[in-house]
Structure formats: structure tokens, C-alpha cells
Amino acid sequence: MEKKMKILTDKISDYQQFGTVLLAVGAFFYIGIIIPKMDKVAGYNIGMLITSILFLSASILFFGKAKKLKKLLDEWKES
């Protein structure tokens, strides 16, 4: 059981790190939409917006998965 708890703790840490990195990258893409640029290519804003939404959505998914695993770990610790 201790080995499973260690693996679960490592997964929680990894998912939180993935979520943080994806959140940062998504924020940078969003900043790229906000900052005006004079020589934008057609579809630039749409591409940046879609990419930003995808990265932020993936970040939310990873944080949600980490939260579920943390809840499972807490249940295991109580038993």
C-alpha cells in the first residue's frame, strides 16, 4: 500500500507541474493576443486564441485530475 501511495503522490506532483506549465504557456499566448502587433498575418488572432484556449483547458484538466487523485490519496490515508 505504501508503494501505491508513493506512486500516487508522484503522479499528483507531476499533474500539478504539467498544469502549471500549461497555464503559463496559455497565459503567454493570451498576452500575444492582447499586445498589438502591426504586421499580423491573417488569422493570427484566431490561431493564438484557439491555442490559448487549448492550453488553458488542458491546464484545468490536469489540475482537476490532481485534485481527484489527492482526494483518493486522502481516503487511502484515512483507512
Per-residue pLDDT tens over the stretch 34-72: 887 777 677 788 888 999 999 999 999 999 999 999 999
Task: Assess whether pLDDT exceeds 80 at residue 9.
Answer: yes
pLDDT at position 35 is 84
Looking at residues 9-17, what average pLDDT do you find? 97
CA distance 51 to 7: 32
Cβ contact 56:26 at 8 Å: yes
